[in-house]
């Protein structure tokens, strides 16, 4: 088992199938079995679990997930990897591979059909360019999720867990922290991948909250406000909201709401906490 988590066997498979790495899919395969084992262990995968794996690649982590989980569904966008996965996962009868873009998959339906609607665990080694849309998509579509354990670019992992006033703080930090408790588990150097990425990576676990840490009357409005206030980072919160096409409030209403929040008019979005964004969105929501 776990025959793939090393450079030699990874190369053998790649050569056998004459596989060419695709830049557009951001493909970097893990070649360190210790790290693969740790990810699966830290994700807390047990025989009760249904696991959704995003971007299985040649199936390195998938093999370990199959050993630990009740059932695994792996979603792979690259058609050229499908015959390879058939080969590397041939020994397992608890896995199915879907050749599709994860953003087009009805994950809610998957959870219904394969896990009786109970929360699923998501595990992924995500290509860097698509991390944010995938994570936001998983949370905002209210898919039943227990946790998301993902390998991402180190700076993206940092961004998910920082607070106000730091340069990495932004819409992603707030969204992640509204839905889940983030915890960086390990930092992973470029040498653990083939081909080697130019940047360090980190594994972060997002443990879904039963209830968000703040209550808000209109979640969508709050996230529209958050996005608008970070779209133009150098602008004041007031100007950011004024210039946003999907914030349908007058300048006066926006000024009044910011005053009601009790912060200075020149405040920037990056100074506000999640609680303050929730409060601001409730103030605006009640004006309508």
Does the structure show a pLDDT above 60 at 146? yes
Average pLDDT over residues 64-91: 96
**pLDDT-above-90 percentage for the chain:** 76
Average pLDDT over residues 80-102: 96
> 187, exposed or middle or buried, with CB in 10 Å at 0-12, 13-18, 19+?
exposed
- pLDDT score recorded for residue 258: 96
CA 270 to chain centre: 21
CB 25 within 8 A of CB 127: yes
CB 50 within 8 A of CB 44: no
Does the structure show a pLDDT above 50 at 15? yes
Average pLDDT over residues 15-39: 85
Q: What rounded mean pLDDT belongs to the chain? A: 92
- On whether the pTM is more than 0.85, the answer is yes
Supply the DSSP string of the chain, one letter for each residue. --TTSSHHHHHHHHHHTT----GGGT--EE--HHHHHHHHHHTT--TT-EEEEE--TTTHHHHHHHHHSSEEEEEE--GGGHHHHHHHTTT-SSEEEEES-GGGS-HHHHHHHHHTTPPEEEEEE--GGGHHHHHHHHHHTT--EEEEEEEEEHHHHHHHH--TTSTT-SHHHHHHHHHEEEEEEEEE-GGGEESPPSS-EEEEEEEE-SS-SS--S-HHHHHHHHHHHHHTTTS-HHHHHHH-TT----HHHHHHHHHHHTS-TT--GGG--HHHHHHHHHHHHHH-
Evaluate the omega torsion of the peptide bond into residue 178 and state whether it is cis, within 30 degrees of 0. Answer: no
Average pLDDT over residues 248-269: 94
Does the structure show a pLDDT above 70 at 2? no
Does the structure show a pLDDT above 80 at 1? no
- pLDDT score recorded for residue 174: 96
- pLDDT score recorded for residue 117: 93
User: 288 pLDDT band (50/70/90 cuts)?
Assistant: confident
Average pLDDT over residues 213-224: 96
Listed residue (32, 60, 189, 179) closest to 123, CA to CA: 60
Does the structure show a pLDDT above 60 at 77? yes
- pLDDT score recorded for residue 4: 80
Give residues with Cβ within 8 angstroms of 84, minimum separation 6. Answer: 13, 17, 19, 58, 59
The sign of the dihedral angle between the CA atoms of 182, 186, 191, 193 is negative
CB 287 within 8 A of CB 257: yes
- pLDDT score recorded for residue 133: 87
The sign of the dihedral angle between the CA atoms of 181, 185, 191, 193 is negative
Express each pLDDT in 169-210 by its tens digit. 999 999 999 999 999 999 999 999 988 988 999 999 999 999
Does the structure show a pLDDT above 60 at 34? yes
Q: How many CA atoms lie within 13 A of 262 on its CB side?
A: 4
What does the alpha-carbon distance between residue 47 and residue 32 come to, in Å, rounded to a whole number? 24
């Amino acid at each position: 088992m776990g025959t793939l988590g090393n450079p030699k066997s990874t190369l053998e498979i790649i050569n056998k199938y004459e596989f060419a790495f695709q830049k557009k899919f951001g493909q970097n395969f893990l070649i360190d079995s210790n790290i693969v084992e740790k990810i699966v262990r830290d994700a807390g995968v047990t025989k009760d679990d249904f696991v959704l794996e995003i971007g299985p690649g040649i199936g390195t982590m998938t093999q370990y997930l199959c050993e630990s989980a009740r059932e695994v569904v792996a979603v792979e966008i690259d058609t050229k990897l499908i015959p390879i996965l058939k080969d590397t996962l041939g020994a397992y009868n608890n896995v199915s591979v879907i050749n599709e873009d994860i953003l087009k998959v009805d994950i809610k339906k998957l959870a219904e059909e394969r896990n009786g609607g109970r929360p699923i665990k998501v595990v992924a080694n995500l290509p860097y360019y698509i991390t944010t849309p995938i994570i936001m998509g998983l949370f905002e579509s209210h898919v039943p999720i227990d946790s998301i354990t993902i390998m991402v670019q180190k700076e993206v992992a940092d961004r998910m867990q920082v607070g106000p006033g730091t340069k990495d703080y932004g819409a992603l930090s707030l969204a992640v922290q509204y839905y889940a408790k983030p915890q960086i588990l390990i930092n992973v150097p470029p040498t653990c991948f083939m081909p080697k990425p130019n940047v360090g990576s980190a594994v972060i676990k997002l443990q879904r909250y039963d209830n968000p840490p703040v209550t808000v009357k209109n979640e969508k409005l709050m996230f529209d406000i958050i996005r608008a206030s970070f779209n133009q980072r150098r602008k004041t919160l007031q100007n950011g909201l004024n210039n946003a096409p999907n914030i349908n409030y007058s300048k006066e209403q926006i000024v009044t709401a910011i005053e009601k929040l009790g912060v200075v008019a020149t405040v920037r979005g990056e100074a506000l906490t999640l609680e303050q964004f929730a409060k601001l969105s409730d103030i605006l929501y009640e004006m309508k």
